[in-house]
Amino acid sequence: MASTRALVSLAAGFYAANCSLGISVAKRWVDTSNVRWVHHGLYILTTATTCTAFLACAVRRSPAALALAPAALPLFMLQHHGARPLGRHTRDALSAAPCYVAGLVLAWR
């Protein structure tokens, strides 16, 4: 079974990759109009790995579980609100960042 460090790192990595892609598209550095599924796929991977990391941390009674748990709300809100308006989408996405940072700190200490 994968370590909690690896799972939290994987979830944070997918989150960072998805945010990076979203920022690149919003700034028009990258055009994903023909491959929008990439952003959606990264969202699914982010959500799935975050849930997996949370469950693994909870089973092992790692404090990282408490840090990752609140990330569920912004991830849900992203799906619920959609991409427009862009400002709200950006706030929803970035509000999960402290959860991933805290999760990484707690998993790696």
Count: domains in the chain: 1
Distance CA 43, CA 60 (A): 26
Domain enclosing residue 15, as ranges: 4-108
Per-residue pLDDT tens digits for 67-97:
999 999 888 887 765 666 766 677 877 889 9
Cis peptide leading into residue 85 (ω within 30°): yes
Condensed to tens digits (0 to 9), the pLDDT of residues 28-73 reads 898 888 887 888 888 999 999 999 999 999 999 999 999 999 999 8
Q: What is the pTM of this model?
A: 0.87
Of 59, 53, 64, 55, which is closest to residue 107 (Cα–Cα)? 64
Query: DSSP H helical segments within the chain, as ranges?
Result: 4-26, 37-59, 64-68, 72-81, 86-94, 97-108
